[in-house]
Every structure is written in structure tokens, then in C-alpha cells.
A and B are shown apart, each in its own frame.
Chain A
């Protein structure tokens, strides 16, 4: 049973426009959420995170929104750039205050930003 779901395997947007990547989760014990970005032949790299006590976190062109009642989070990239083309993984943890940071990952969404 998938506890973290990224229902769109791929997304294509034009350079300069907004990219919106979505993620849903089923486990109500999750209280910390992260987005990772992965280029081919490289490991995933941390992008942005949000704690369940917040509903928004912004870092430059990247903003993550969390809707706890809907168990939904989204990553907005504005403006999108060709270098943003990568696979984006949503991840969740249920122990943000503890020492075991085991993450549950979604399947990823391949973002392609066209020049």
C-alpha cells in the first residue's frame, strides 16, 4: 500500500511558467514532508521541506504548500527554468522530533521545462 502518492508520472511546462507538482499521503502520522530532486545518474538532492505545523514554506523560486486536512502537498516552481528538468520525489516522515528519520518516498514526477 502506497503511503505517499505522486499520481503524475510526468509534467511538461514552458520556461518562465509555473510548475506545480502534487503529492498525496495516507498516513496521518506523517508530520514532516520533503521534496527531493534527482538528475540522471545522480542521487536525489534535498530541495525543500515543511513541518506539519506550517502550511507554507518558501525558498526562492520554490514553495511547498501543505493541506493537512486533505493530506496533500504541492511544490510550486516559479518561474520554471530548463535546469529544473529532473525527477522530483515527495517524501514524508512520521518522526520529525525523533532520531529515526526514515522517509517514505513517492514514485516521483519527471518534470520537463521546455525552452
Chain B
């Protein structure tokens, strides 16, 4: 497709459940970023993938968060044992020369 695709667009989950968020990047975007935006906050960096290099996981808030990406393909962000503070819009972006192309995000609500 022409843009970055994220699924699901909305997810409501019970506290303690695991969730998996998916990002389909644009072909050719070797770098992929995950950010999240909690209510009233800016975009918060989570993790960065660049080709086959080791990912930069410095933004992951806890060990309940993990992400995978194989090569330049789909990335998945997994949150285990979700907590209410995990509620946010999770955004994925493909990057070339500092120009981010964002997906529409996944709105996660933990109840």
C-alpha cells in the first residue's frame, strides 16, 4: 500500500490480558519506529528498528513491552499483562532521512 498500515485501529482489553499490535510499513523504509501518545502527553519513543541491526529498545517502559521485526517487514508490538496506564494511541512510523510516515495508530484502552 501507499502508507503505513496499523491494526487494529481500536482495541479494548481487560487489565491483565496480553495484546499484540501490528504495523505494516511502506516498502523500502528500512527504519521503523514505535511511539505512543497517552492522554495529554506528547509522542513518547518506544523502540526503533534499523535494518538487521539490534533494535534500540531504550524507550520501552517496562519488560511487559516487547517488539519484533524481521528484516524490512511487518513489526508487532506486544504488551503483556496490560495495565490501565498502558492506555494510549500507539503509532508506528517508517523513516527515511528523518521524514517520518506515520500510520493512523492503534487506540488501546485497558479497562
Is B31 positioned at the interface, with any CB of A under 8 Å from its CB?
yes
Mask, A78-109, CB within 8 Å of B = 1, is 00000000000101010010011111111110
**Which one of A14-22, A42-50, A64-72 is at the interface?**
A42-50
B98: A residues at CB distance < 8 A: 32, 34, 49, 93, 96, 101, 103
Q: Interface residues of B toward A: which range?
A: 20 to 34
- Please give, as numbers and ranges, the residues of chain B lying within 8 Å of A101 by CB-CB distance: 31, 95, 97-98, 100
Question: Would A108 and B48 count as touching, CB distance under 8 A?
Answer: no
Interface on chain A toward B: helix, strand, loop, or mixed SS? loop
Complex contacts, A105 vs chain B, CB 8 Å: 35, 42-44
Q: How far is B40's CA from A42's CA once the two chains are assembled, in angstroms?
A: 17
Alpha-carbon distance A32/B43, docked complex (angstroms): 17
Bound: A104/B102 CA distance, A: 15
Question: How big is the A interface, by class?
Answer: 20 to 34
Report how many A-B pairs have Cβ atoms within 8 Å.
Answer: 60
Q: By the criterion CB–CB under 8 Å, are A43 and B42 in contact?
A: no
Question: Which chain A residues border B99 with CB–CB below 8 Å?
Answer: 46, 49
Residues of A within 8 A of B (CB): 2, 4, 6, 32, 34, 36, 41-46, 49, 89, 91, 93, 96, 99-108
- The reply to whether A44 and B31 contact each other, CB–CB distance below 8 Å, is no
A44 and B102 contact, CB distance less than 8 A: yes
